[in-house]
Structure 1
């Protein structure tokens, strides 16, 4: 981990668990429109977040500032530093498009999301999570939600090749209670839950946790309520210039996890891959050109 100064965004994320409900609402509003949300008057920020002016004042103090003017001064310094950052000066990613083109704006946002996300992750926590996912003595369950089920399915497809004793829990609430019947203490759940957080996912996590399962959570920068139950949580920055949140950063994390677990289990994984390829040959699933 680096010793770089904490940004205002970093401070907010570190304080999330200690904030009141109104302060968390304010924090989410600031992060969602960061950094533009903090550049206007205090009253405007309070109105946008639908909280009181005193709530903003308390929040600013909790972040370590003497007042709103000092908070804004620090925010402006961050913006100046960002303008000097080499990333902000790079040639446009799509050379044939202007710097303001959606291809370049979206790419800039994704790269910024990745940089901030990796800066918040403890490599030791990541290694621990990968070791948990690789432990074939424990059953591995993977579950996502309405949108994040695509991430869960992607991870499951790879893990199914890498190791045995793995289950993909369908996100519909009328089926997942059946999966909980055989959960044993120490079993591992990998859960994907991004905003808008789903009640079904939280209930599943609560029941799995009550049975002694260990939870690994992939969530967003505001963190799903499941993080209070999880042994390890990975918070990804997901905001991009779109009506939809980006899955690029969590996808990077889970693909890295696949690579790490594959390395940890390579002896057995290689045997499973060879057996799978043999079955593919027998079923003629893929075309061969030799």
Structure 2
């Protein structure tokens, strides 16, 4: 369990002073607590002994152990496939596919237990709302998941835009974002600085609802996001898995299409007519 998860688990038991500390830590996680205890006390207006009591209350022996855990999480969030290779557990070579499928299934079950239905429904409501435009983008690898989402959403509803990978082309799209719109970002460990810059600009200038799909170490984009879903990605190989991200996206696609099936049906029918019969060519019915 990460420090963030531990703090949130104990949130109902915190005093007013402890909530000030937790808010400061989570607002700039994990960097908000990687300063001296005196600096954190000055920033929060809470005494150093109160901070010591806070970290003890959430399960740490002291402030140094608390910081060591945060530093360890920061290192984990930056691990590359080369580093993960040293700790991988491939299992039986003869049954690798079956073993890998089992691990992937376990990650999906872990996701289903950790993502509340209420959170899924809130995000679904935003993406399914026809009054809102939906803008989507992912990282170097995760953009494949973002594109999968955008391609399906475009068939289901209008006003869906996949941002181009070149940041030089972003202003054209950003000028169209309104406050009631939705920006969905995918960012997993070894987080991309350009996505962080995008989230910062959009949060400051456009102020739509920002939905972040990330991992348990949390992309820095979380500080700008209204909704954050942290997915399991570790699968004991040199490569993290995106199976949970794909499962989540497929579930969203199904439910968005069902939110107003009669409208979805008409759009799909029109989409197929235009796709299969180019303008100027007679349809089969007229031949």
Partner residue in 2 for 1:275: 270
Tell me, in whole angstroms, the C-alpha distance in 2 between the residues paired with 1:59 and 1:246. Answer: 35
Question: When the two structures are superposed, what TM-score results if normalisation uses the length of structure 2?
Answer: 0.67
Partner residue in 1 for 2:68: none
Q: CA deviation at 1:242?
A: 2.3
Aligned mate of 2:229, from 228, 234, 237? 234
Partner residue in 2 for 1:171: 165
Q: Cα deviations across residues 122-161 of structure 1 (Å, max 9, x unaligned)?
A: 2111101011001111111011111111001100010000
Question: In the alignment, is residue 128 of structure 1 matched against residue 122 of structure 2?
Answer: yes
Question: In the alignment, is residue 110 of structure 1 matched against residue 104 of structure 2?
Answer: yes
Q: CA deviation at 1:185?
A: 1.0
The 1:275–1:22 alpha-carbon spacing in structure 2 relative to 1, beyond 3 Å, is: closer
Bigger drift between 242-251 and 171-180 goes to: 171-180
Q: CA deviation at 1:11?
A: 6.4
Partner residue in 1 for 2:132: 138
The 1:280–1:179 alpha-carbon spacing in structure 2 relative to 1, beyond 3 Å, is: closer
Report if the CA contact (8 A) 1:219-1:236 is conserved: yes
Tell me, in whole angstroms, the C-alpha distance in 2 between the residues paired with 1:282 and 1:161. Answer: 16
Residues 116-265 of structure 1 mapped to structure 2, 5 A cutoff: 116-210=110-204, 211-265=206-260
Question: In the alignment, is residue 13 of structure 1 matched against residue 8 of structure 2?
Answer: no
Report the RMSD for the aligned CA atoms in angstroms: 3.0
Unaligned runs of 5+ in 1: 1-8, 25-57, 68-96, 285-290
Partner residue in 2 for 1:48: none
Tell me, in whole angstroms, the C-alpha distance in 2 between the residues paired with 1:251 and 1:136. Answer: 23
Aligned residues: 215
Tell me, in whole angstroms, the C-alpha distance in 2 between the residues paired with 1:64 and 1:241. Answer: 27
Tell me, in whole angstroms, the C-alpha distance in 1 between the residues paired with 2:146 and 2:111. Answer: 19
Report if the CA contact (8 A) 2:212-2:227 is conserved: yes
Q: Which has the higher contact order (CA 8 A, sep 6+)?
A: 2
Q: CA deviation at 1:106?
A: 1.9
Question: When the two structures are superposed, what TM-score results if normalisation uses the length of structure 1?
Answer: 0.66
The 1:240–1:60 alpha-carbon spacing in structure 2 relative to 1, beyond 3 Å, is: farther
Unaligned runs of 5+ in 2: 9-24, 35-52, 63-90, 280-287
SS in 1 for 2:277: helix
Report if the CA contact (8 A) 1:23-1:59 is conserved: no
Report if the CA contact (8 A) 1:139-1:166 is conserved: yes
Tell me, in whole angstroms, the C-alpha distance in 1 between the residues paired with 2:55 and 2:96. Answer: 34
Tell me, in whole angstroms, the C-alpha distance in 2 between the residues paired with 1:15 and 1:105. Answer: 34
The 1:118–1:139 alpha-carbon spacing in structure 2 relative to 1, beyond 3 Å, is: same
SS in 2 for 1:228: helix
SS in 1 for 2:212: strand
